[in-house]
Amino acid sequence: MILYKKEMLPKPQMKTKVILRTKKIDTNYVFSENNQVYLKRKSSIKPTNSNTLYTEEWFPISFCWKS
């Protein structure tokens, strides 16, 4: 059995925990046609077989461009 001097042992590495806090940016798809603005709505439906089905729908919104 070989004994090592304390000075010869590697120094223990300090474990650091880094926590990054980020803010989620909510976005949505938009398009305009004939002076009407539409937003894309994503909805989910859970059928009986436990698979999630996503449907997408475009709906008009009231929107006025400012200059």
| Model confidence pLDDT, tens digit, residues 40-63 | 887 766 666 667 777 788 889 988
Lookup result for tokens 């200059």: 67
Output 26-32 pairs: Cβ under 8 A, ≥24 positions apart: 31/58
pLDDT (tens digit, 9 = 90+) per residue, 32-45? 888 889 998 877 66
> Based on C-alpha coordinates, what's the Rg of the chain?
28
Let me know: does 52 contact 46? Beta carbons within 8 Å: yes
CA-wise closest residue to 55 among 41, 34, 35:
41
Q: Does residue 2 surpass a pLDDT of 60?
A: no
